[in-house]
Amino acid sequence: MKEVVYGYWIQQDRELLSLTQQRMAQLEEVLGASGSQVSAEWDRSADARGEAVVTLRLSDFTGSATTVFQPEELKDPSHMRTRFYLLWSALLQVRIQHQLQELQEAGSPEKE
């Protein structure tokens, strides 16, 4: 992992901070070798009903992808593996779009 940041609000909740820290090894496993290019930012916020949720933003040189977890989801490793794969897939989509745009720009003739 390039960098892991735990935001202010998640640091204020010991239980959620501990759960997110426990899930980091699993996230790194999902990211594999590409993990060295990816940063993760965990934080806590509130949903529309005012209940605590955990946010995770993965970012790399091309952009970022974010998802929201209910606190109880963090307790289920198999469920989290699936959620991590979905988030990783979203970041890879951002990367693909970025690379396609670069290729299109490189291949188009310059307008004068």
Mention the CATH class of domain 3-105: alpha beta
**CB of 66 within 8 A of CB of 53?**
no
Q: pTM of whole model > 0.85?
A: yes
Cα(68)–Cα(41) distance, integer angstroms: 12
Give yes or no for residue 79 having a pLDDT over 90: yes
What percentage of the chain exceeds 70 in pLDDT?
97
**pLDDT for position 52:** 94
Rounded to an integer, the average pLDDT of 85-89 is 97
Query: Distance (Å, rounded) from C-alpha 55 to C-alpha 37?
Result: 20
| pLDDT exceeds 60 at position 111 | no
- CA dihedral sign of residues 13, 86, 31, 102: negative
- Give the per-residue pLDDT at 110: 63
**What pLDDT is recorded for position 102?**
86
The first and second tokens of residue 111, run together, are: 């307008």
Given a cut of 90, whether residue 13 has pLDDT beyond it is yes
Tokens read off for 67? 């998802």
| Domain layout of the chain by residue ranges | 3-105
Rounded CA gap, 19 and 91, in Å? 23
Could you tell me which residue, 99 or 59, shows the higher pLDDT?
59
As a whole number, the mean pLDDT across the chain is 94
Q: Per-residue pLDDT averaged across 16-30, rounded? A: 96
Q: What Å distances lie between residue 70 and 4, 61, 81, CA to CA?
A: 20, 28, 15
pLDDT in tens, 90-107: 999 999 999 898 888 887
